[in-house]
């Protein structure tokens, strides 16, 4: 299978490397020092089981590439639109674009460029980040990918991608209800993750305080109410399950948005709490917690570079993915 990785940070770098090791033809789109490292030294993957380095094909943009079978679309949510505009050279009539991003609006943005029929949706659950130029670090277990067609159909291309993942030893699951999966992940990322960013705290101290634990629960409940208003069939105990998942995490755990905030990087707040607020206004559902998160975090956004299009093609900022935080990014 021919693949291109658009957004070669933690998630894109890690899974692209596994697919390359599995014998597939993978091209990485990157930039800056990360691109230089990939071209000169290859891609290094460090895991609890050991370290390996493989030579890879890495380019600065998509213009030099031919159409591929599959695009792993792994840029940050705020870079979705410019990155989608760069898809054209990669597309043929059969090309699939699989988004492994945070947020609920990326599918529509990508589909507006390549058509909804080309888009697959995925959720990633793993602890991985770009540790430095050309180096991807996985700190937890092997994690898993859940993906599927928007329609829920078990298509031939989904089966082919699942076969490629199997060959590359990537734990995965094909879902026939990927929209529900996306919302369940969003419930954790925006609800729990947003509060850790707002509080600038690890998850442990938040659970140690009754007030902050209530804040976590209420943030998640607001999202569940939005899902209900949009007709998304979340389980009745979805909020309780997310809170239990969060309570089981290491006390020092913080969302990737909290880490981005601490490091002065741009935040995905508009795609997370901002999306909750926008949907709440449309539905008439109150979202006071997420209005607070969005308002407070928006003042910490660094200035947006004017070369955002180039930035989108080769996102190389730190991007951690934790077991319930496929954001983590």
Distances (CA, A) of 124 to 5, 14, 117, 146, 216: 15, 11, 21, 6, 22
What are the helix and strand counts (H, E) for the chain? 14, 12
pLDDT for 124: 94
Of these residues, 63, 185, 282, 329, which one is catalytic? 185
Mean pLDDT value of segment 63-88: 95
pLDDT above 50: residue 198: yes
**Which CATH code for domain 180-301?**
1.10.1040.10
β-pair type (43-47, 50-54): antiparallel
Cα angle at 249 between 244 and 252, to 5 degrees? Answer: 135
Strand order in the sheet with 50-54: 50-54, 43-47, 135-138, 128-132
**Which CATH code for domain 2-179?**
3.40.50.720
Q: What is the pLDDT of residues 25-36, one digit of tens each?
A: 999 999 999 999
Active site residue 185: yes
| Residue spans in the chain of domains classed CATH 3.40.50.720 | 2-179
Mean pLDDT value of segment 241-269: 91
Q: What is the pLDDT of residues 258-305, one digit of tens each?
A: 988 998 989 999 999 999 999 999 999 999 999 999 999 999 877 654
Distances (CA, A) of 53 to 13, 38, 46, 137, 184: 12, 10, 9, 12, 35
Q: What is the pLDDT of residues 104-133, one digit of tens each?
A: 999 999 999 999 999 999 999 988 889 999
- DSSP for residue 220: H
| Residue spans in the chain of domains classed CATH 1.10.1040.10 | 180-301
Q: 3-class secondary structure for 87-99?
A: CHHHCCCCCEEEE
Distances (CA, A) of 80 to 56, 76, 123, 266, 272: 24, 7, 16, 14, 14
Q: What is the pTM of this model?
A: 0.87
């Amino acid at each position: 299978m021919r693949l291109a990785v658009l957004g070669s940070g933690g998630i894109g770098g890690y899974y692209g490397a596994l697919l390359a090791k599995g014998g597939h033809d993978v091209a990485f789109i990157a930039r800056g020092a990360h691109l230089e490292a990939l071209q000169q030294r290859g891609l290094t993957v460090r895991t609890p089981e050991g370290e390996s380095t493989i030579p890879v094909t890495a380019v600065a943009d998509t213009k030099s590439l031919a159409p591929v079978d599959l695009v792993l679309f792994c840029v940050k949510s705020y870079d979705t639109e410019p990155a989608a505009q760069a898809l054209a050279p990669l597309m043929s009539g059969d090309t699939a674009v699989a988004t492994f991003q945070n947020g609920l609006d990326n599918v529509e943005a990508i589909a507006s460029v390549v058509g909804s029929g080309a888009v697959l949706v995925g959720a990633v659950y793993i602890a991985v980040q770009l540790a430095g130029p050309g180096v991807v670090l996985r700190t937890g277990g092997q994690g898993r990918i859940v993906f599927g067609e928007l329609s829920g159909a078990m298509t031939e291309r989904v089966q082919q991608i699942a076969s490629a993942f199997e060959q590359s030893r990537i734990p995965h699951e094909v879902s026939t209800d990927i929209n529900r999966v996306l919302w369940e992940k969003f419930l954790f990322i925006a609800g729990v993750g947003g509060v850790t960013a707002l509080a600038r705290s690890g998850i442990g101290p938040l659970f140690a305080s009754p007030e902050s634990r209530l804040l976590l629960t209420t943030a998640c409940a607001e999202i569940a109410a939005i899902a209900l208003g949009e007709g998304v069939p979340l389980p009745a105990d979805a909020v309780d399950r997310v809170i239990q998942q969060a309570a089981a995490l290491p006390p020092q755990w913080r969302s990737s948005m909290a880490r981005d905030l601490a490091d002065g990087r741009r935040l995905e707040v508009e795609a997370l709490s901002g999306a909750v607020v926008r949907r709440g206004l449309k539905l008439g559902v109150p979202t006071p917690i997420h209005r607070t998160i969005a308002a407070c975090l928006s003042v910490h956004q660094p200035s947006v570079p004017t070369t955002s299009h180039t930035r989108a093609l080769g996102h190389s900022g730190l991007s951690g993915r934790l077991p319930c935080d496929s954001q983590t990014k």
